[in-house]
Amino acid sequence: MNKIIRFLKNLELIISYRTNRLASNNKIVYYLFRIITFTAEWWMFLFYGLIILLINKIVAIECIKMGIIAYSFHYPLYYIIKNTIKRKRPYVNNINIKCLVKPPDKYSLPSGHSSASTISTLIILTFFPTMKLLIIWPALAGLSRVILGVHFISDALFGIFLGFICFYISYIIWPMV
């Protein structure tokens, strides 16, 4: 079992290094993934709510209600997990991985960009099911965080999982509100 865990950790480190090097050496890749990361900043979700409000006020109210429920679970869980596990960011112990964007906090697991973009994606798809292509956004947000050197792949995957759980809880509670 230890060999498997060691293998997975090494594989994750190699992926982190190689993807980070790609952005470090290519300005187009760097700026592309900076833009993707920017779309998953916390305050952008307020902006997305305003856009939906302009499109359809009735649907926007329901999206916002569901979002408030999901994020009410998300942020406490996110901070408890992050400050309990205290996983160091990839660039901290690996001099070959460059931090290409300022992280919002000290620890790595889970990726808040991945989890928050997952919640928002699933809420939007609940009310606007024709926007199916949006489903790739959480994966791109997570990948951007790996490429920019602030997360490991497992941080992004766990963030997506956390976002799904928080969305699902809100999906169950929302009709009762």
Q: What percent of the chain has pLDDT over 90?
A: 80
The rounded distance, in Å, linking the Cα atoms of 156 and 136 is 13
DSSP-derived secondary structure for 110-149: S-HHHHHHHHHHHHHHHH-TT-GGGGGHHHHHHHHHHHTT
Among candidate residues 151, 152, 156, 159, the one labeled active-site is 151
Domain hosting residue 89, numbered range: 2-176
Domain count, the chain: 1
The CA angle 70-73-78, to the nearest 5 degrees, is 115
74 catalytically annotated: no
Can you give the pTM of this predicted structure?
A: 0.91
Residues 6+ apart with CB under 8 A from 81: 109, 110, 162
Report the pLDDT averaged over residues 160-175.
95
What per-residue confidence (pLDDT) applies to 99? 93
Among candidate residues 74, 82, 89, 113, the one labeled active-site is 113
- At 98, is the secondary structure helix, strand, or coil? coil
